[in-house]
Amino acid sequence: MKKKKKLLEQFGSLKYFDKKIDSLFKVIFGNSNNKDVAISLVKAVLPEEEEIKNLTFHDLEIRTNSNFNPEKRGITVDINAEDIDNNKFYIIEMQIHEVPDLLGRAELSTSRIFDSLYTKNESVTLKKKIYSINFLYYDMFPEDKDYYHHIYPHEFNKKNVSIPFKDTVVIELKKFNKKFEETQFVESKINKEILEKFDESQINKELEKSDISQKDKELLLSEKKKRRIVERQLWFAFLSKINTLYKEPSSIDRSKYFSLKRKIKIKKKNDSQNQENVDKNQKKEDKMKEVVIYIENEISEELFKFLIKVGPIRKALELCVNLSENDIEKYVSDVDDHTGLLSQIDEKNKVIEEQRETIKEQRGKLDEKDKVIEEKDEIIEELQNIVNELKRDNNESNNNENNKKIKI
């Protein structure tokens, strides 16, 4: 209780970080020391009837079974975890930018895991189930009002048919953020009661009692389901309601913004643009660049009180508050190098600057042409004046001749 109160007191000065940036997402959800946080997130995403007991984290690069094709390229994911007790794998991805053919990529990564498990003992392999969980901060299905999609294979003219070994879940966080009625959520007495009455561990302990009646069991299962739905909304709010800005905010109210300035190394990238494969010999050529990013906190104090009622979310918030210097450095590098947004802005600014130079050069050429035209106009005007003067002299001469003739 004291811990919650202290965290609440610090709320006004907390340095929030955008969990959608890969490096921080992995610090919070991909660390074996914080597996309870990842387990809670996965539970929130899974259908209510699905259970998860434990998580073991695996290598982020998923390769095909070397017995089949050792040359085949691996796929790198954000989180690759396994619930050994339940025979389930979880591939978790966070995508800020639109990914072409995301469902195809999800299919490929789940198939790679299945392929890597495949052995002569087929019965063991076929009992495994692989979830591809994809958090997106863009609208993948803009025409669909829902933000949560559990995708199954579909047989034409018949109902959905599930392939036994895989499921794909897509969560559109941006859409959730627009739809989430924060005021309505925090003012709901039911939500408050659900979070304060039980936590999941208490419910599970009650369910394990041998003398529990069927009626009590059903009530507890109902409470468990309700809590998971509430926690799902809180997890999605936690992920979606803090955003990184890539230029200085123009808003008069800057209390929501936290700026972060760091000097980071801009490394030379190879042809594949894979920063991890950069030759170590190139380190001498690394250049330093100063990066400023702005973090916008859209979490109200009322919503924050709800977030810290869920132990794993509270722990995730504490991880954000207590980021090490190395984690912050990596986070800022990821904002620039991994997401590429600042680099894109720099590139756009460079293009704009080049266009300005071109326009300036063209204006210079036009000015030169205008000057030549002006000089030519002056010459033409001068020649016209001479012609007019000659005509006038010629007219005067003709008039004098005519006058002489008249006199004679």
In order, the DSSP letters of 161-199 are: ---TTEEEEEEEHHHHHHH--HHHHHH-HHHHHHHHH--
Q: 222 — phi, psi (to 5°)?
A: -65, -40
Find tokens 């000015």 and name the residue. 367
Indicate the domain borders of the chain: 2-242+309-323, 354-408
Rg of the chain over CA atoms, in angstroms?
34
Instruction: At 373, list the tokens.
Output: 């035209």
pLDDT at 272: 39
Q: Which of 199, 178, 195, 177 is nearest to 186 (CA)?
A: 195
Q: Are the beta carbons of 307 and 313 closer than 8 angstroms? A: yes
Amino acid at the residue 101: D
Instruction: At 195, list the tokens.
Output: 């979070």
DSSP-derived secondary structure letter, 100: T
Give the SS3 label for residue 11.
helix
Measured distance between the N- and C-terminal CA atoms of the chain, rounded to whole angstroms: 133
Q: Which H or E run includes 316?
A: helix 311-321
DSSP-derived secondary structure letter, 73: P
pLDDT at 277: 45
Distance between CA atoms of residues 332 and 137, nearest Å: 19
Strands (E), 173-286: 242-245, 257-266
Query: Could you give the angle at the alpha carbon of 141 between the alpha carbons of 186 and 181, nearest 5°?
Result: 10
Distance between CA atoms of residues 391 and 369, nearest Å: 32
Counts of helices then strands in the chain (DSSP H, E) = 14, 11
Q: In sequence order, what are the residues at sequence separation of 6 or more whose Cβ sits closer than 8 angstroms to the Cβ of residue 243? A: 18, 20, 295, 296, 298
Instruction: At 27, list the tokens.
Output: 């610090």
Q: 218 — phi, psi (to 5°)?
A: -65, -40
pLDDT in tens, the chain (408 residues): 666 666 666 666 667 788 888 888 998 999 888 899 999 999 999 887 788 889 999 888 877 665 555 566 678 899 999 998 888 999 999 998 888 889 988 988 888 888 777 665 555 556 788 999 999 998 999 999 999 999 887 777 766 677 778 889 999 999 999 999 989 999 999 999 888 887 878 888 888 888 888 888 888 888 888 899 999 999 999 999 888 776 677 665 666 677 877 776 665 544 334 444 444 454 555 677 777 788 888 888 889 889 988 989 989 988 888 888 888 888 877 776 544 555 555 566 677 778 888 888 888 888 888 888 888 888 888 888 887 888 787 777 777 666 666 665
pLDDT at 319: 86
Give the SS3 label for residue 16.
coil
